[in-house]
């Protein structure tokens, strides 16, 4: 049971992001794609089965307000987790840049597929304003996350500057 607590907290974070934090963290039309980032991070660090099930559940939570599209989002995120898990085995993930590129590429693919499912009528305009800029914004957040995770930036180093 204690192994499930982090996953439940991640699902709670995804729900909180979808309802409250998405509008707060938005810069123009670009938003952080936290659901795809969490699914890809789980696919990098955990097993194949747990990443696929987590991707499925994040898709259900993410599309909870759109009941007619829950299946599509669950399928997209579960497939993204499966693909990222298999790419993980072929890449050198000791490098922070390869992890950032894997996650930002996965976020870009997720943004494109979400646009196809949610707003197929204005696809070309939304491709630039939402998909690409959102992937770049998420890549910057992922880069800072990995700087903290790898210990290249710590609170002691940050505090020593000031």
Residue 10, both tokens: 């991640």
Question: Can you list the pairs that 48-57 forms with residues at least 24 positions away whose Cβ atoms lie under 8 Å?
Answer: 48/82, 48/85, 50/7, 51/81, 51/82, 51/84, 51/85, 52/78, 52/81, 52/82, 52/85, 53/78, 54/7, 54/10, 54/81, 55/79, 55/80, 55/81, 55/82, 57/7, 57/11
- CATH number, domain containing residue 129: 1.10.1760
What's the mean pLDDT in 51-77? 91
Residues 3-28 have pLDDT tens digits of 889 999 999 999 999 999 988 989 88
d(C-alpha 45, C-alpha 133), whole Å: 26
Find out whether 51 and 43 touch, Cβ atoms under 8 Å: yes
Q: Give the C-alpha separation, 101 to 123, whole Å.
A: 24
pTM check: above 0.75: yes
Contacts of residue 148, Cβ cutoff 8 Å, sequence gap at least 6? 154
List, for residues 83-122, the tens digit of each pLDDT value. Answer: 999 998 888 888 899 999 999 999 999 999 999 988 878 7
pLDDT at residue 133 in the model: 92
Sign of CA dihedral 74, 77, 79, 81: negative
Looking at the 3D structure of the chain, how many domains does it have?
Answer: 1
Angle at 90 between CA 84 and CA 153, to 5 degrees: 70
* 159 confidence band (pLDDT: 50, 70, 90): confident
Query: What is the reported pLDDT for 48?
Result: 93
Domain that holds residue 131: 5-161
Does residue 35 sit in helix, strand or coil? helix
More confident residue, 58 or 130: 58
């Amino acid at each position: 049971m204690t192994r499930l607590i982090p996953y439940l907290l991640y699902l709670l974070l995804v729900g909180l992001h979808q309802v409250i934090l998405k509008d707060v963290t938005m810069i123009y039309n670009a938003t952080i794609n936290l659901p795809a980032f969490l699914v890809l991070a789980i696919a990098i660090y955990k097993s194949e089965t747990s990443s696929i099930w987590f991707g499925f559940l994040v898709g259900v939570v993410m599309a909870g307000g759109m009941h007619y599209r829950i299946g599509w989002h669950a399928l997209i995120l579960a497939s993204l987790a499966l693909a990222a898990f298999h790419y993980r085995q072929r890449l050198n993930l000791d490098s922070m840049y390869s992890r950032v590129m894997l996650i930002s590429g996965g976020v870009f693919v997720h943004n494109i597929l979400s646009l196809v499912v949610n707003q197929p009528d204005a696809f070309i305009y939304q491709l630039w304003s939402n998909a690409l800029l959102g992937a770049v914004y998420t890549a910057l957040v992922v880069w800072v996350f990995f700087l903290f995770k790898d210990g290249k930036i710590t609170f002691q180093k940050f505090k020593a500057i000031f």
